[in-house]
Amino acid sequence: MADSSAAAATPATSSSDLAADLHVEPVCSTCKGAGYYLLDVPVGNPNFGVLMPCDCKMAAKEQRAADELRRLSNLGPFEDKTFENFDPDVPGVRRAFVRARNYAGNPRGWLILFGNYGSGKTHLAAAIANAAFQRHYKVLFAIVPDLLDHLRSTFGPNSDVEYDERFETIREIPLLVLDDLGTENTTPWAREKLYQIINHRYNYSLSTVITSNRKPEDIEPRIFSRMSDLALCEEITMIEAGD
């Protein structure tokens, strides 16, 4: 005969186990899922009747902000570009490496890296952006031709972002990294938009990193005049490296 006590020893399924089985997120014990709660304070207390944001809501808000920051940074294809995997011992790149690493710790002014294809300038520019992003700095990394294409796309009927909103983000982002300046399609529209971005950032001394494989005389004169201001900008020419 079976021992009837065996059935009684079987533990009941808890609500947390059931939630796990059904893949239901557990309800916050503080706010019961509302996102806000009332403090147990007497009438007359400044916080009486005031809805307080719950920690669970604040955590979700911080996660959304972090996700938006990552989306905005445009660093997905360049996440592997860091200072740790850059070889500073290749001839001609150490000064740029040291300066870029210092700049990443305190992005102020403009840092401009000139160099041929494969010189390592894109790697260093992306490393700056990645280091700044890890410190929760608002940064946008953009290859110049792609940046202009993105701006053009906002005029399309299927765009989720208004042109003015995207253009203002690019102009005002605390750290803008522009890769491959001079390779953009030189239409009058492209030249004007690019100049407006660079001129605005110049006027307000907004932190900016620029890379280019062009000779200075091949860069649009209005733009190069901004890049030549030694009070704001530092130019470094990289000779040869492996990107």
Q: Give the separation between CA 55 and CA 131, rounded to whole angstroms.
A: 28
Q: pLDDT digit string (tens) for 60-104?
A: 766 666 666 677 678 888 999 999 999 999 999 999 999 999 999
DSSP SS3 for 182:
coil
- Residue 137 is encoded by which pair of tokens? 């700095």
Domains in the chain: boundaries? 36-69, 74-238
pLDDT surpassing 80 at residue 136 = yes
- Give the pLDDT mean for 14-33: 59
Share of the chain above pLDDT 70, in %: 79
| CA pair distance 217, 128, nearest whole angstrom | 26
The pLDDT score that the predictor gives to residue 32 is 78
Q: What count of Cα atoms within 13 Å lies in the side-chain half-sphere of residue 215?
A: 2
- Work out the average pLDDT over 18-29: 57
DSSP letter, residue 125: H
Least confident residue range of 13-17, 112-116, 121-125: 13-17
Give the integer Cα–Cα distance in Å for 238 and 243. Answer: 12
Superfamily of domain 74-238: P-loop containing nucleotide triphosphate hydrolases (3.40.50.300)
As a whole number, mean pLDDT of residues 167-177 equals: 92
pLDDT band with cut points at 50, 70 and 90 for residue 165: confident
Report residue 114's pLDDT band, with 50, 70 and 90 as the boundaries.
Answer: very high
What is the pLDDT at residue 225? Answer: 95
Q: How far apart are CA 89 and CA 131, in angstroms?
A: 21
pLDDT digits (tens, 9 = 90+) for 226-242: 999 999 999 999 975 44
For residues 140-146, average pLDDT: 91
Residue-wise pLDDT tens digits, 173-188: 999 999 999 877 667 8
